[in-house]
Amino acid sequence: MTSVEGTVADRYTGLRDELQRRLDSGAECGASIAVIERGELVVDLWGGHADALRTRPWERDTLTPVWSTTKTMTALVALMLVDRGELDLDRPVAHYWPEFAANGKQGVKVRHILSHSSGVPAWEQPVTVDDVYDWEKSTAMLAAQAPWWEPGTASGYHAFNMGHLVGEVVRRVTGRRLKTFFAEEVAGPLEADFFIGLPPEHHHRVAEIVPPPPRPSGFVPRPGSIQERSMRGPAVGAHESNTEEWRRADIGAANGHGNARSVAAIQSVISHGGQAHGVKLLSPSTIGLILDEQTNGRDHVLGVPVRFGVGYALPLPGLLPYVPEGRLCFWGGLGGSLVVNDLDRGVTMAYMMNRMQSGVIGSENSAAYFSAYYAARSD
């Protein structure tokens, strides 16, 4: 048994208790929770173990793969370029990346790749994980293929290629790779311990991912469907995140490494008017673009109703029932990691872990923590 460490404001001690209960029960292996309210870090908790055998403690500076929570960082980068006037959401992607116009994609707009509605949710077969690690090859493959539905008409979650689509636009606009721009213009200025493409000197700090339980035996996507094609384009198992190749790669959709504190520190820019720690990254008007609904309905890939704004999901009844109504934007990662930006309350809350649970967005664990936090608030 390990004790939860860190700090928590008196009103939120229930969060510490909930994390301790879940560590003791085995529902968690290792995890961290952070909440920033009106610029103050009111919750900064961590505990458990950084390996499946529970021999290595989860420490203050432990990093973990956050899977698709990475997408919130990629979206932030794109929004920064929009804010600077270097990127236009309504211009075709091909305006910045001419090769992308091939095979009927000339009408795909920048806003479409940020709202999972481009019609290009994954790579066409054949494709391997090694192809995804090869930036030039993988982006050329995306540029060459045709959309799988009419762009802009519906969402189909871009699980592993969103970072390549947005990242190549970032590269064409700035001359820098996504991971480089993020390190130099976001994580660095905010002094946040988060990486897209983890340098080797930090690999020893990474928690081992514990895979989720198998999918129910009855879950079989229809052969040839968008969902089935997306799951094979490519098929990436949880074990992949424990490899050196995964850690080093530039996968802005999925291979970010951080912890709850660093995720909250960066994403609080969204809930705090565009700045954090005295560093301004966005204007309020650009933040408002996030809340502009782009799609609302059953997602072709996830198979459940999702409402997307620009770069983030927006509240929808039944999607995250444990967060309040209002001006919120959020996203999470495979296995349950989650970050919520609550603009009405000036709050960003993040939960990152290494033991994955089943579920599409969030998990039983995230539901417990976010419920405990909002139950402790008087508003």
Number of domains in the chain: 2
pLDDT at 221 over 90: no
Q: Work out the mean pLDDT of the chain and round it to a whole number.
A: 96
Residues near 287 by beta carbon (within 8 Å), at least 6 away in sequence: 79, 270, 273, 274, 343
Task: Assess if residue 127 is contained within a domain.
Answer: yes
The verdict on residue 187 lying in a domain is: no
291 and 356 in a single domain? The answer is: yes
* Shared domain check, 250 and 304: yes
Any idea what the CATH number is for the domain that residue 149 is in? 1.20.58
pTM for the complete prediction? 0.98
Q: Looking at residue 215, what is its pLDDT?
A: 72
Residue 164 lies in a domain: yes
Q: Which of 375, 363, 293, 277 is nearest to 327 (CA)?
A: 293
135 and 251 housed in the same domain:
no
Nearest CA-CA partner of 113 in 76, 80, 152: 152
Q: How far is CA 88 from CA 111, 145, 277, in A?
A: 8, 23, 27
The arithmetic mean of pLDDT across residues 169-193, rounded, is 98
Are the C-beta atoms of residues 331 and 71 closer than 8 Å to each other?
yes
* Residues 109, 37 share a domain: no
78-92 burial: b if 16+ Cβ within 10 Å, else e: bbbbbbeeebebeeb
Q: Are residues 113 and 151 in the same domain?
A: yes
**Distance, CA of 62 to CA of 65 (rounded, Å):** 10
Same-domain status, 83 and 197: no
pLDDT of residue 350: 98
Lowest mean pLDDT segment, chosen from 27-41, 97-111, 185-199, 232-246: 232-246
- Residues above pLDDT 70, as percent of the chain: 99
Q: What is the mean pLDDT of residues 184-208?
A: 98
Q: Is the peptide bond before 151 cis (omega within 30 degrees of 0)?
A: no
Is 202 inside any structural domain?
yes
Q: Look at the block and give the residue holding tokens 């309040």.
A: 324
Judge if 48 and 112 occupy the same domain.
no
Q: Does residue 31 lie within any of the structural domains?
A: yes
Phi first, then psi, for residue 133 (nearest 5°) are -70, -20
**Does the structure show a pLDDT above 90 at 154?**
yes
Residue 289 lies in a domain: yes
Residues 332 and 251 in one domain: yes
Residue 185 lies in a domain: no
What pLDDT band is residue 214 in, cutting at 50, 70 and 90? confident
Closest by CA position to 205, among listed 262, 135, 265: 262
pLDDT at 216: 66
Report the pLDDT value the prediction gives residue 224, as an integer from 0 to 100.
93
Q: Do 253 and 269 share a structural domain?
A: yes
Q: 158 is in which domain, residue-wise?
A: 75-178
Residue 110 maps to a domain? yes
Sign of the Cα torsion 70, 340, 173, 180 reads: negative
Per-residue pLDDT, 220: 77
269 plus 329 within the same structural domain: yes
d(CA 151, CA 139): 18
Q: Convert the pLDDT of each residue in 29-86 to its tens digit.
A: 999 999 999 999 999 999 999 999 999 999 999 999 999 999 999 999 999 999 999 9
List Cβ neighbours of 231 (8 Å cut-off, separation of 6 or more): 122, 221
Q: Is the pLDDT of residue 359 over 90?
A: no
User: For the segment 280-328, what is each residue's pLDDT rounded down to a tens digit?
Assistant: 999 999 999 999 999 999 999 999 999 999 999 999 998 999 999 999 9
What percent of the chain shows pLDDT beyond 90?
Answer: 94
Count Cβ atoms below 10 Å from residue 38 Cβ, excluding itself. 11
Same domain, 207 and 340: yes
| pLDDT mean over 241-268 | 97
Q: What is the mean pLDDT of residues 163-173?
A: 98
CATH code of 315's domain = 3.40.710.10
β-partners of residue 295 are: 308
Answer whether residue 217 shows pLDDT above 90. no
Residue 203, both tokens? 């690999």
Read off the pLDDT of each residue in 146-173 and give the average, rounded to a whole number: 98
> For residue 136, is pLDDT > 80?
yes
State whether 242 and 325 are in the same domain.
Answer: yes
pLDDT at 219: 67
